[in-house]
Amino acid sequence: MKTIEVVAAIIIKDEKVFATQRGYGEFVDGWEFPGGKVEAGEALEAALLREIREELAAEIIVKDFLTTVEYDYPNFHLTMHCFICEMQNSNMTLLEHKAAKWLNKGELDTVDWLPADLWVVEKLKEAV
């Protein structure tokens, strides 16, 4: 089975977590933490900064490592490295997602998370 390695930004502001809704691909309409594939030889934090620029036209500060999720989807294995981040400025533009929300801890279960991201949500409930 093919393995895909990705990074995800858990962006927190004023005790709320930023969630994005996919606007394309196999998992269209599912909710996830923004991020994307790590390129060959790329450091995880560098990949995360690049992906957030590409997806949100935004600059973030990577604060802390949260967790790595290993999840088997039907057609591939996902390794997702998740980092707690904060916005460097307040400018964000959805370039690849169809919607986004800031969710407080009590609202984390109000969106339909993709399966691997659901593991992160559970970890966040313990940490936030």
Q: Read out DSSP for the chain?
A: --EEEEEEEEEEETTEEEEEEE-SSTTTT-EE-SEEEPPTT--HHHHHHHHHHHHHS--EEEEEEEEEEEEE-SS-EEEEEEEEEEESSS----SSEEEEEEE-GGGGGGS-B-HHHHHHHHHHHHH-
Q: Give the pLDDT of residue 55.
A: 94
Q: What is the mean pLDDT of residues 42-66?
A: 96
Which sequence spans correspond to the domains of the chain? 3-127
Share of the chain above pLDDT 70, in %: 98
Least confident segment among 40-49, 55-64, 78-87, 119-128: 119-128
Confidence check: pLDDT of 128 > 80: no
What CATH class does 3-127 carry?
alpha beta
Q: What is the percent of the chain where pLDDT is above 90?
A: 79
Q: What is the mean pLDDT of the chain?
A: 93
Which conformational region is residue 50 in: left (phi greater than 0), alpha (psi within -120 to 50 degrees), or beta?
A: alpha
Residues 6-33: what's their mean pLDDT? 93
**pLDDT tens, 66-122?**
999 999 999 999 999 999 999 998 788 989 889 999 999 899 999 999 999 998 998
The reported pLDDT for the residue numbered 124 is 87
Tell whether the torsion through CA atoms of 102, 105, 111 and 112 is positive or negative: positive
Cα–Cα distance for residue pair 105/23, rounded to 1 Å: 24
